[in-house]
Structure 1
Amino acid sequence: MVTFTLMVIIFAMVKRKSTQFRPITDMAERYCQEYVKTPDNQAEAAKRAGYASPDNAASRMMKDERIQKRITELMTERNKRLRVSADYVLMRLVEIDQMDVLDILNDDGTLKPIRDWPKIWRTTLSGFDLSSTIMNMNEDSIETILKKIKWPDKVKNLELIGKHVDVNAFKERLEVNVNVSIANRMAAARKRAQGRGGNDE
């Protein structure tokens, strides 16, 4: 009995070895590579990496500090390659916020040809509708008319700017006056003391 108790104590004292210095497996490396491609779908990354139970594998992987570190390394490398930084993201958001419909209109209110639009308009539109009409039956000339354009959601864009620069413009704030709170508590305590027949000293 003493021997068994001693073994239990020794076993409890021995800590499991940390895995943080052990290299990750080839399959885990594939998971990291796939995760960087689609960071919003961990299970899909695990499936493409070859795991039989993608949901369980993804959950297990994301708890491993080695995997987290490797994913961070890969994302940092990718951002450097693409020259994407926090400044770049903020600059693009500000450009979108400053888009003005007058940039793509002629003085008479008609749309300018797309080739004459500023680059921010050409690269940021959410969608557009074109219609084609035959101008001359003999020459088969076709005129393409831009009927409708859909530009980015400006409110959503402002929210992203607000989050990016941490102005907390869209957070509800709750201000508490600590002095009033303490004063109220002291007054309530006095009333309770007087109710029990104590003095107010």
Structure 2
Amino acid sequence: MTPKQERFVDEYLIDLNATQAAIRAGYSERTAEDIGRQLLRKTPVALAISTARRERAERTRIDADWLLARLADETGADAAELYDAKGNIRPIREWPLIWRQGLVAGIETTTDAKGKVKVTKLRLVDRSRRLELIGRHVDVQAFKDRVEVNLSVDRAAELDAFLKA
């Protein structure tokens, strides 16, 4: 690989955007989209990206298993844990960790006369999106717009004959 291609690999790993990675690696903005697409198809570049991603997953211990477990935890988190017995929103420090780590998209607060901050309103993230991500990951095809099937020529002929019968 050329030094510019190596730089492209490093830049691509930042945001997985081939066009922006090509620009940051020093390719022309005018041709960056085409260059990025071409570079991703080059075997040495694709191999370098794959290797770097695998090494990063090992280093961070964030992989498909971790992601799926995290999504499952987030999907199963009970919003009732955010409220006390009287129906008031608990102070943030009393929330379960899973809620403090990203399931709340927005918070409105008030401050009383003593300067104490109280959470008055919550906006939660779209948890249905997490279910969709789980469905895509485990390949249950629950959220696919179309299903792709790879058949050998012999199997395709057998299927065609079966469907015509």
TM exceeding 0.5: yes
Alignment partner of 1:79 is 2:57: yes
How far does residue 62 in structure 1 lie from its aligned partner after superposition? 1.6
The residue that corresponds to 1:151 in the other structure is: 124
Select the structure with the greater relative contact order (CA < 8 A; seq sep ≥ 6). 2
- Work out whether residues 90 and 119 of structure 2, in 8 Å CA contact, stay in contact via their aligned partners in 1: no
How far does residue 121 in structure 1 lie from its aligned partner after superposition? 0.3
Alpha-carbon distance in structure 2 between the residues aligned to 1:180 and 1:81: 50
Q: What is the identity, as a one-letter code, of the residue corresponding to 2:51?
A: E
The residue that corresponds to 2:69 in the other structure is: 91
Q: Which of 15, 21, 41 is the matching residue for 1:38?
A: 15
Whose radius of gyration is greater, 1 or 2? 1
Q: Which of 116, 130, 142 is the matching residue for 1:169?
A: 142
The residue that corresponds to 1:132 in the other structure is: 110
How far does residue 159 in structure 1 lie from its aligned partner after superposition? 1.2
The residue that corresponds to 2:27 in the other structure is: 51
Alpha-carbon distance in structure 1 between the residues aligned to 2:122 and 2:7: 41
Aligned residues: 151
Q: What is the identity, as a one-letter code, of the residue corresponding to 1:45?
A: A
Normalised to the residue count of structure 2, the TM-score between the two structures is: 0.81
Q: What is the DSSP-based 3-state SS (H/G/I as helix, E as strand, rest coil) of the residue aligned with 1:111?
A: coil
* Aligned CA-pair RMSD: 2.3
- Work out whether residues 96 and 152 of structure 1, in 8 Å CA contact, stay in contact via their aligned partners in 2: no
Alpha-carbon distance in structure 2 between the residues aligned to 1:105 and 1:131: 15
Residue-by-residue CA offset, 1:128-174 (whole Å, 9 max, x unaligned): 23333340xxxxx3132213222221221111111111122234799
Indicate how the Cα distance of structure 1 residues 172 and 25 shifts in structure 2: closer, same or farther if over 3 A, else same.
closer
Q: What is the identity, as a one-letter code, of the residue corresponding to 2:139?
A: D
How far does residue 120 in structure 1 lie from its aligned partner after superposition? 0.3
Normalised to the residue count of structure 1, the TM-score between the two structures is: 0.68
Q: What is the identity, as a one-letter code, of the residue corresponding to 1:164?
A: H
Q: Which of 66, 91, 94 is the matching residue for 2:44?
A: 66
Share of identical aligned residues, percent? 32
How far does residue 115 in structure 1 lie from its aligned partner after superposition? 0.6
Q: What is the DSSP-based 3-state SS (H/G/I as helix, E as strand, rest coil) of the residue aligned with 1:109?
A: coil
Indicate how the Cα distance of structure 1 residues 168 and 146 shifts in structure 2: closer, same or farther if over 3 A, else same.
same
